[in-house]
């Protein structure tokens, strides 16, 4: 028995483990349900927001399927398999579906007299003694029989509900989980007041019978019910430029501190998955391994982004990333960093005009954690319009220089990083810096020249634009590919305007680790 329990715990921990930015259930919800004693959690939200998916995963990841009951008043077993095919792949699926079927039969089928499976008197005494012993350890936390006080006082009886009480009674003092999906479906069928029904289950099961009670509500507002339960979460769905966005809001979790009230989530693959807040890159010294492109395309350094672009950035293309106001430098750089690293690892040079707030030395320190300092010094050039001189090989100091002198310095550095013009380069421009230094008209003129030169030379152009720039519309029209970077509940996201794509969460690649990234579709 002990080894079986240990195996179940190991399986739970494996399921629950964070995959570098993504996790199934918010940690606050896990902590809330795993506290000692029973609790009640109300899950509300409009149709299609993922309430059933989350409920099933609560059984899989937090509850024990052997001691869990799932009641659905609106789907059959076949519908569950069809809607959630992953159930058939799990060892626990029979227990959940069997429990559901028994519960449904108890509610919908006519009551029939059944013969009691009588235990021998000696076994009854042993069972009773064991319950008394466990109850004596801590009478408050280890109830040995189900409280039926409020069940008996219901004006209208729900056929079969007493049998569920009996089953929970047989499992005590072990904790059980009961999911009702949905409250409206059940109370409407039997003409019962929802407030009375929830109060009955709350008092009898959650408070006095060591049961975790999960109540699914089919609407987003239920102020008259929320005060009855220990926890309330809301599943929400809205749209960002016609792209679906999903989130889970933690409204109340009694006894648990809510460190983050909202999480971005997805139902991709029929699974409920939420995303933890973005964290700054961890210290690491792993070498970057090149992500290969194709004959006519440059890899972005991310296989997922390459797939969206059908193989990567086309050679000779100009590609723009719009960074919205709520996105930090570290968040958008999680996408730019792999582009720089992969470009350098392929032997290509990089010419960069950095966006405001990015210091050249900090950039070098960041990149050289994953690629050699010699390669960076040899192949990377950062334009500095303020300093007249620099001893650093990667700096192109143009401050105070006359036009013809600027041209000579510029051409010399470009020749160095392009092997005297024999190999293409990455031309990277932060347009906030360019517009600030040169004004709108000159910046647009430089943009036109940069795009034309990129296409002729088969170079790769990357432009960064931020909120409030006057040349944004011109850049959109010129760009071959145009992406928007946003931050939703502290998770960086990306979506394409050219090509038009859905919304993706940006997370660390679970196999390769940082600085590789994966893009998870929000569905």
Which is more confident, 120 or 217? 217
Would 285 be classed as within a structural domain? no
C-alpha span between 10 and 23 (Å, rounded): 17
C-alpha span between 492 and 278 (Å, rounded): 7
List, for residues 100-156, the tens digit of each pLDDT value: 454 455 445 544 444 444 556 665 555 565 555 545 445 455 788 999 999 988 877
Q: Which residues is 350 bridged to in the sheet?
A: 380, 426
Of 4-18, 250-264, 325-339, 423-437, the one with minimum mean pLDDT is: 4-18
Query: Above 70 in pLDDT, residue 96?
Result: no
Region 172-201: mean pLDDT is 90
Nearest to 169 by CA among 125, 211, 107, 212: 211
Would 14 be classed as within a structural domain? no
Let me know: does 237 contact 48? Beta carbons within 8 Å: yes
Domain identity same for 97 and 165 = yes
**Can you read off the two tokens belonging to residue 205?**
């099961």
Domain identity same for 40 and 150 = yes
- Confidence band of 500 (pLDDT split at 50, 70, 90): very high
Domain identity same for 188 and 301 = no
Would 150 be classed as within a structural domain? yes
Q: What is the pLDDT of residue 2?
A: 45
Examine the fold and report which residue of 275, 305, 329 is the final residue of a domain before the chain moves on: 275
Total Cβ atoms within 10 A of residue 276: 20
List, for residues 309-338, the tens digit of each pLDDT value: 999 999 999 999 999 999 999 999 999 999
Domain identity same for 343 and 195 = no
Q: Which residues is 177 bridged to in the sheet?
A: 68, 212
Domain identity same for 376 and 235 = no
Q: What is the pLDDT of residue 511?
A: 87
Query: Above 60 in pLDDT, residue 292?
Result: yes
List, for residues 226-266, the tens digit of each pLDDT value: 999 999 999 999 999 999 999 999 999 999 999 999 999 99
- Confidence band of 17 (pLDDT split at 50, 70, 90): very low
Domain identity same for 159 and 254 = yes
pTM of the predicted model, to two decimals? 0.85
- Confidence band of 447 (pLDDT split at 50, 70, 90): confident
Q: What is the pLDDT of residue 438?
A: 77
Q: What is the pLDDT of residue 87?
A: 60
Would 223 be classed as within a structural domain? yes
Examine the fold and report which residue of 243, 275, 307 is the final residue of a domain before the chain moves on: 275
Q: What is the pLDDT of residue 468?
A: 82
Would 3 be classed as within a structural domain? no
- Confidence band of 283 (pLDDT split at 50, 70, 90): low
Domain identity same for 85 and 166 = yes
Q: Hey, is 339 helix, strand or coil?
A: helix
Cβ contacts of residue 507 below 8 Å, gap of 6+? 19, 20, 21, 22, 275, 491, 517, 518, 520
- Say how many domains are in the chain: 2
List, for residues 360-391, the tens digit of each pLDDT value: 999 999 999 999 999 999 999 999 999 999 99
Helix (H) or strand (E) holding 333: helix 329-345
Q: What is the pLDDT of residue 114?
A: 42
Query: What is the domain range of residue 88?
Result: 19-275
Domain identity same for 269 and 317 = no
Domain identity same for 244 and 371 = no
Would 314 be classed as within a structural domain? yes
Region 432-445: mean pLDDT is 78
Would 413 be classed as within a structural domain? yes
- Confidence band of 81 (pLDDT split at 50, 70, 90): low
Domain identity same for 381 and 315 = yes
Domain identity same for 235 and 319 = no
Examine the fold and report which residue of 216, 244, 275 is the final residue of a domain before the chain moves on: 275
Nearest to 202 by CA among 225, 221, 185, 222: 225
Domain identity same for 107 and 194 = yes
Would 288 be classed as within a structural domain? no
C-alpha span between 472 and 465 (Å, rounded): 7
Counting residues of the chain whose pLDDT is more than 90, the rounded percentage is 56
Of 14-23, 318-327, 463-472, the one with minimum mean pLDDT is: 14-23
Share the mean pLDDT of the chain: 84
CATH of the domain at 226: 3.40.50.300
- In order of 174, 306, 317, 370, the CA distances from 455 in angstroms are 69, 20, 6, 30
């Amino acid at each position: 028995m002990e080894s079986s329990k240990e195996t179940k715990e190991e399986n739970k921990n494996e399921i629950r483990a964070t995959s570098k930015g993504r996790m199934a259930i918010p940690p606050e919800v896990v902590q809330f349900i795993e506290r000692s004693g029973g609790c009640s959690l109300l899950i509300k939200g409009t149709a299609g927001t993922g309430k059933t998916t989350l409920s099933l995963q609560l059984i899989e990841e937090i509850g024990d399927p052997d001691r869990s009951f799932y009641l659905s008043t609106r789907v059959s077993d076949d519908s569950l398999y069809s809607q959630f095919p992953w159930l058939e792949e799990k060892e626990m699926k029979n227990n959940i579906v069997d429990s559901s079927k028994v519960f449904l039969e108890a509610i919908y089928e006519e009551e029939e007299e059944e013969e009691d499976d009588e235990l021998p008197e000696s076994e009854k005494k042993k069972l009773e003694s064991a319950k008394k012993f466990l109850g004596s350890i801590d009478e408050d936390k280890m109830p040995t029989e189900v409280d039926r006080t409020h069940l008996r006082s219901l004006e209208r009886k729900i056929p079969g509900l007493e049998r569920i009480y009996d089953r929970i009674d047989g499992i005590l003092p072990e904790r059980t989980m009961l999911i009702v999906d949905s409250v409206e479906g059940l109370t409407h069928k039997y003409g019962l007041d929802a407030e009375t029904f929830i109060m009955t289950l709350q008092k009898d099961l959650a408070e006095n019978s060591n049961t975790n009670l999960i109540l699914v509500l089919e609407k987003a507002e239920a102020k008259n019910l929320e005060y009855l339960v220990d926890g309330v979460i809301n599943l929400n769905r809205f749209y960002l430029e016609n792209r679906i966005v999903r989130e889970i809001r933690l409204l109340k979790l009694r006894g648990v501190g809510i460190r983050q009230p909202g999480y971005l989530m997805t139902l991709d693959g029929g699974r409920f998955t939420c995303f933890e807040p973005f964290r700054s890159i961890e210290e690491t010294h792993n070498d970057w391994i090149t992500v290969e492109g194709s004959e006519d395309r440059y890899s972005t350094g991310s296989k997922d982004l390459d797939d969206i672009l059908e193989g990567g950035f086309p050679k000779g293309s100009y590609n723009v990333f719009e960074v919205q106001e709520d996105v930090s430098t570290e968040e958008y750089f999680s996408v730019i960093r792999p582009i720089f690293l992969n470009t350098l690892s392929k032997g290509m040079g990089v010419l960069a005009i950095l966006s405001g707030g990015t210091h050249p030395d900090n950039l070098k320190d960041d990149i050289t954690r994953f690629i050699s300092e010699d390669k960076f010094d040899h192949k990377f050039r950062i334009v500095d319009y303020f300093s007249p001189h620099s001893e650093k090989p990667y700096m192109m100091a143009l401050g105070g220089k006359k036009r013809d002198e600027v041209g000579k310095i510029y051409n010399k550095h470009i020749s160095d990083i392009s092997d005297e013009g024999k190999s293409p380069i990455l031309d990277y421009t932060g347009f906030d810096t360019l517009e600030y230094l040169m004004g709108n008209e000159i910046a647009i003129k430089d943009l036109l020249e940069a795009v034309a030169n990129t296409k002729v030379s088969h170079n790769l152009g990357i432009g960064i634009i931020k909120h409030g720039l006057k040349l944004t519309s011109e850049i959109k029209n010129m760009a071959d590919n145009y992406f928007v970077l946003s931050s939703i509940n502290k998770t960086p996201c990306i979506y394409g305007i050219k090509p038009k794509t859905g919304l993706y969460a940006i997370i660390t690649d679970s196999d390769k680790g940082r600085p590789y990234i994966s893009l998870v579709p929000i569905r």
